[in-house]
Structure 1
Amino acid sequence: MPDAPRSSFVPVHVDIDWQRVRKIVSRTALLAAAIPLTAGATVMAIDKVRGQRYPLDARFPTAPPTDTTIDDTTATVYTYGADLYEAMLDAIAQARHTVFLETYIWKGDPTGERFKEAVSDAARRGVQVYVIFDGFANLVVPPSFFVFPPQVHVLRFPALRAGLLTLNLRHSGRDHRKILVVDDEVAFVGGYNIGELYATKWRDTHLRLRGPAAWELRNAFVDFWNRWRGAKHPVLQDRGAEHWQPALRAARNAPSDLVFPIRGIYLDAIDRATHHIYITQAYFIPDRDILDALLAAAARGVDVRVLVPERSNHALADWLARGRYTRLLRGGVRIMLYQGAMVHAKTATIDGRWSTVGTANIDRLSLTGNYEINLEIVDDGVATTLEDVFRMDESNSREMTYEEWAGRSPLNKVAEKILEPLEPLL
């Protein structure tokens, strides 16, 4: 038999300059990261100039504090910072045993000074005072402001944490909560930080509990204090609840334990909706599950409305939020844009029965990143009050239509795509 034909294939040896390849890959990655980061910085710079020319300082409607009784607890809704601060300062002034104050931002301005003096005075007259503030959020405040009398127990949540660079959730979350509990009898929670700006210039929502349900916020403060206290800090007693109030419960996000129930209460409530969903948010960047839940509700005939600032104090958050507008508007969700001022509330009410008031925004940082607390309330009276507040805020809003949104400039559409990779940061 003849020999089989030999293959004409000749192996070719190719030298690959791996060092050059690595350089190309590295430079490409850096360029890919630099483009959205540069765009984000540009957006914020432009917005800063715009904010100086057109400040968010227009007058806006507010409502007087409104009470609702839930079992043995009185819940009061506040929509104006000056009213809230007077109630908080009055509670501190009347304290007999304990004051627990936790805040994200505490400005060193006249309003901040009033709160500092109030807790200092309480401590001097023998009240046990415990204060928590977030170090990172207050970097611009002079350190001397946070020097209290020795009787005040102060916990500064660290500004720099090990997980920030590696995006490790257990070691990177901020303390975004705002809580005041006095004598285990009266407690406050909501979106208001402490400062002059928030007293009169921002529209926000806070809730006061007077009665047994104050335990929900006391327990949240005590758990956080004991988790993060240093050796110099005393241990707070973890008391059980003598009174169970299932209609009013606190949901607490705790990144160190990878526990994030606030997202869950939103998803559960949205899935139950049959008539209407009213959401007010400062920064609305829902994840896929919440977005899908809202669209599913709208598809089954629920009146879904989301009220957000037309221009907030965080331009980048505004741009990233707009990336959801196309799907929301196409799906029948109505978007209300608050005019002339910053609306900072974190509230929702559904079907005249379920409500939430708290500190969490509907974005990644709040729902799966920061320490947050929201009250979940199943009560017709509170829901009615918050629906009235929502309609009040609607009177200072304009509705974004799909036609208007679809007609935005091509430059805006390109900018939205370029900024999209920055979403994990917010």
Structure 2
Amino acid sequence: MSPLPIAMDAVPRVLKWAVGGLVGVQATVISTLVVADMVRRRRVPPPRLRHTPPTTVPVADSSVTTYTSGGDLYAAMLSAVQEARTSVYFETFIWKDDAWGQRLKDALVDAARRGVQVHVVFDGFANLVVPRSFLRFPDLPTLHVLRFPTVRPGVLTLNVRKTGRDHRKLLVVDGRTGFVGGFNIGSRYESTWRDTHLRVEGPSVWELENAFADFWNDFRDDQPEIPDTGAAEWDARVRAARNAPNRLLFPVRGLYLEAIDRARERVYITQGYFIPDSEILRSLVTTARRGVDVRVLMPEASNHVVADWVARSYWSELLRAGVRLFLYQGAMVHAKTATVDGRWTTVGSANIDRLSLLGNYEVNLELYDADLAALMEKIFATDLDNTRELTLEEWERRGLLPRLAERVLRPLGPLV
């Protein structure tokens, strides 16, 4: 008898051993990194963050205010809810049961009690550690609450339409004032994280109002539907890009690719978690090689140590192409922003990683305006003062163990 069947039978066993071995090594590396990160956090002193004051510029027929401080943002959001007359649409990923979280909850309930139609959405999985009592609301006819499911069925059936977390951060009041960006709700994010949010006032608020309404109507179950009004005005200088896995729509990734491809002078990107897929990586490398000043600002140590180490596996290719990497020091920078050539800007909830660009529900505003781009470049310059630049020479001097850890963890890129 030919030995081929025996050899063929051995192949699945060899594959199982190889996969099992890789998973075991990854688990060991992850455990080591997590323990080391816990020790590091105990030693890190409280950060002293530099903020750019809230600044308003006209964009199209609307006004846009940029916030880099949680205290300024939360005060503005709270004031908007307290002054609401007809409607409040609020959506968040994380909502902590602390001072700011409670103040916002009280304001939403008070608005509903005075007759305002209040719609609230929060992600169930992201708030598993938040006490259930905090996320309970009084039974009021004008208060409508949607807890986005903790477990999505598509995770088990590999159905993309039924996966993804609600990672969006939105507030729209009376169809006149809208907020969008990277800030979750909580005192921690006010004082120890650097993030960016926008407030929009004017006709372009419809972009955010419609983003909320479409999401609510897709997942409302037996809750009342929000009417679809259509846009009273249509100005392409301000547009909302919404990733919606249930519709297989992922435009945020596309807007990044298109803007980077158009760049002739400079690309400035700030990201909390920067794990580019192959196309975004290729686009950044190609753009830098043709002489564009491409800079990426990210935390040297984020709140997710595994994501940090997965990201490191892309740094060699970026640095060799001339992309400049700036590592934020002593604090978590969580902003999701970019500006190109002093013309184009995006601010929103989506990170440049697979979960945000091809997995979660996200919303980014895309704005084409020179004054806003100039402000974003000013904010980028302020943040640069709290970074150190990682050079190719320094990076290539790293030891063998870090190189092995990067290689072992890189396959996890699509999962983080």
TM-score of the pair, normalised by structure 2 = 0.96
Q: Secondary structure at the match of 1:45?
A: helix
Measure how far apart 1:294 and its partner are: 1.0
Q: 1:13 to 1:361 in 2, by over 3 A?
A: closer
The one-letter code matched in structure 1 to 2:108 is V
TM-score when normalising by structure 1: 0.94
Separation (CA, whole Å) in 2 of partners of 1:218 and 1:210: 12
Pick closer, same or farther for the CA change 1:40–1:122 going to 2, 3 Å: same
Q: State the alpha-carbon separation in 1 of the partners of residues 342 and 414 from structure 2.
A: 34
The gaps in structure 2 that reach 5 residues or longer are: none
Q: Deviations over 1:119-151 (max 9, x none)?
A: 011011110100000000000001111111212
Within the candidate set 407, 411, 414, 1:421 is matched to 411
Say which SS state the counterpart of residue 235 (structure 2) adopts: coil
Amino acid at match of 2:130: V
Structure 2: distance between partners of 1:95 and 1:127: 7
Tell whether the 8 Å contact from 1:36 to 1:421 is kept in structure 2 after alignment: no
Greater gyration radius: 1
Contact 2:60-2:238 at 8 Å conserved across structures: no
Q: CA deviation at 1:163?
A: 1.8
Deviations 1:92-125 (A, max 9, x none): 0000000000000000111110111010110111
- Which position in structure 2 is the counterpart of 1:254? 244
Q: Please, which of 60, 68, 73 is the counterpart of residue 71 of structure 1?
A: 60
Report the Cα distance in structure 1 between the residues aligned to 2:348 and 2:3, rounded to whole angstroms: 65
* Corresponding residue for residue 332 of structure 1: 322
Instruction: Give the C-alpha shift of residue 206 in structure 1.
Output: 0.1
Q: CA 1:148/1:160 → structure 2, altered by over 3 Å: closer, same or farther?
A: same
More displaced 10-residue stretch of structure 1: 371-380 or 29-38: 29-38
Aligned residue type for 1:69: P
Counterparts of 1:177 and 1:326 in 2: how far apart (Å)? 31
Aligned mate of 1:87, from 76, 82, 89: 76
Find out whether 1:393 has 2:391 as its counterpart. Answer: no
Per-residue CA deviations over 1:198-221 (Å, capped at 9, x if unaligned) read: 111110000000111000000000
Q: Deviations over 1:9-34 (max 9, x none)?
A: xx557884998875554344322322
CA distance in 1, matches of 2:52, 2:5: 75
Residue correspondence of structure 1 range 135-154 to structure 2 within 5 A: 135-151=124-140, 152-154=143-145
Once the two structures are superposed, what CA deviation does each residue of 1:256-310 show, in whole Å capped at 9, x if it has no partner? 1111000100111111101110000000011111111111111111111000011
CA contact (8 A) 1:267 1:290 kept: yes
Which of 109, 117, 120 is 1:131 aligned to? 120
Q: Tell me if the contact between 1:37 and 1:422 (Cα under 8 Å) persists in the aligned partners.
A: no
Residues 155-183 of structure 1: CA distance to partner in whole angstroms, max 9, x if unpaired?
00001111223543222200000000000
**CA gap 1:409/1:148 in 2 versus in 1, 3 angstroms:** same
Deviations 1:399-425 (A, max 9, x none): 000000000111100111111121121
How many residues are treated as equivalent by the alignment? 414
Residue in 2 that maps onto 1:204 = 195
In 1, Cα distance between equivalents of 2:128 and 2:136? 14
> Which residue in the other structure is 1:302 paired with?
292
Indicate whether 1:214 and 2:243 are aligned: no
Distance in 2 of aligned mates of 1:111 and 1:119? 12
Distance 2:4 2:373 in 1: 72
Aligned residue runs from structure 1 range 18-417, under 5 A: 25-54=15-44, 57-151=46-140, 152-231=143-222, 233-417=223-407
CA distance in structure 1 between the partners assigned to 2:245 and 2:405 by the alignment: 32
Structure 1 residue 316 displacement after superposition: 0.7
Q: Contact between 2:22 and 2:408, CA under 8 Å: does it hold in 1?
A: no
Deviation for aligned residue 1:50? 1.8
Q: Contact 2:69–2:196 at 8 Å: present in 1 too?
A: yes
Say which SS state the counterpart of residue 156 (structure 2) adopts: coil
Structure 1 counterpart of 2:169, one-letter code: K
Kept in 2, the 8 Å contact 1:36–1:422? The answer is no
Matched to 1:238, the amino acid is D
CA-to-aligned-CA distance 1:18-69 (integer Å, 9 cap, x gap):
98875554344322322213322331232122212225x3102101100011
Cα distance between partner residues in 1 of 2:15 and 2:36: 32
Structure 1: tracts of 5 or more residues without a match:
1-10
SS at match of 1:175: coil
Indicate if the aligned counterparts of 2:250 and 2:357 stay in contact, CA closer than 8 A: yes
State the Cα deviation string for residues 180-199 of structure 1 (Å, max 9, x = none).
Answer: 00000000000000001011
How big is each residue's C-alpha offset from its partner over 1:334-392, in whole Å with a ceiling of 9 and x where there is no partner? 00111111100000000000000000000000000000000000001110110000000
Q: How large is the RMSD of aligned CA atoms in angstroms?
A: 1.6
- Contact kept? 1:298, 1:333, Cα under 8 Å: yes
Aligned structure 1 segments of 4 or more residues deviating by more than 6 angstroms: 17-21
What is the aligned partner in structure 2 of residue 5 from structure 1? none
